[in-house]
Amino acid sequence: MNSEQHQDLQHNWSRITRWYAENTPQDTLVLADGASAAEIAELEAGLGARLPDDLRYSLSLHNGAANEAYLLYHGELLSTSRILEVWQMYRDMQHNEGWGRGDSYRTEALQGPIRAVYWDGLRIPLTDNSGDAAMLDLQAAAGGQAGQIIEFDGEVGPKTVLAPSFSAWIAQLADELEQGKHVYIEDAGCVAPPGTW
């Protein structure tokens, strides 16, 4: 990433936090301080993969949410330690219980260039909402790109591509918030499209 891309990512996070400050109850989304280089390296070592530069830079700015807050309806915005914890939980369930494998785990809800695999270690959870998540996809299907962000549904598996990269996803979320495509839904305690709950 170059300095302009760094500034864009910082700016888009600022747009998101400003929208939350102006449109939700106090402290609905409080971003944590940035992760250290050692914390990011520890995450990558645990995953056995290097993260895209835009996600690495974002984690150095904000290591998840300070108050376990949701990023829109996608779920808790995870820190480096929580990303690894949730990823290891998925990996262990798959290894020990066969979760995500076999005929009962079909990927029939796929839209876009996503491999027809329910889950594997190349999909990294960035949020967690009781099994639903926005995930970093390090190996896309033909027509997609490594580092794309996908929507994962705990009941049906991967569903759709949310954005071609992490930085594009954050920019898209900021745009959608400012365009009024999402509102704070008090009963759910999160931000989502109007009429979701």
List, as one string, the DSSP characters of 8-38: HHHHHHHHHHHHHHHHSSTTSS-BPPPPPHH
Residue 27 has pLDDT above 90, yes or no: no
Q: For residue 164, give the DSSP letter.
A: S
- For position 188, what pLDDT does the model report? 86
- For position 87, what pLDDT does the model report? 98
Measured between alpha carbons, how far is 101 from 117 in angstroms, rounded to an integer? 8
- For position 84, what pLDDT does the model report? 98
More confident residue, 85 or 26: 85
Q: Which two three-digit tokens encode residue 140?
A: 């896309």
Written as one letter, the residue type at 131 is G
List beta partners, residue 65. 31
How are beta strands 127-128 and 123-125 bridged, if at all?
A: unpaired
Share of the chain above pLDDT 70, in %: 99
In the chain the domains, ranked by start, together with CATH numbers, are 3-186 (3.40.1580.10)
Burial of 141 (0-12, 13-18, 19+ CB in 10 A): middle
Share of the chain above pLDDT 90, in %: 83
- For position 41, what pLDDT does the model report? 98
Written as one letter, the residue type at 115 is R
Read off the pLDDT of residues 60-81 as tens digits, 9 standing for 90 and up: 999 999 888 999 999 999 999 9
Q: Look up the pTM and report it.
A: 0.95
Interval 171-195 mean pLDDT? 93
Decide if 154 contacts 143 (C-beta within 8 A). no
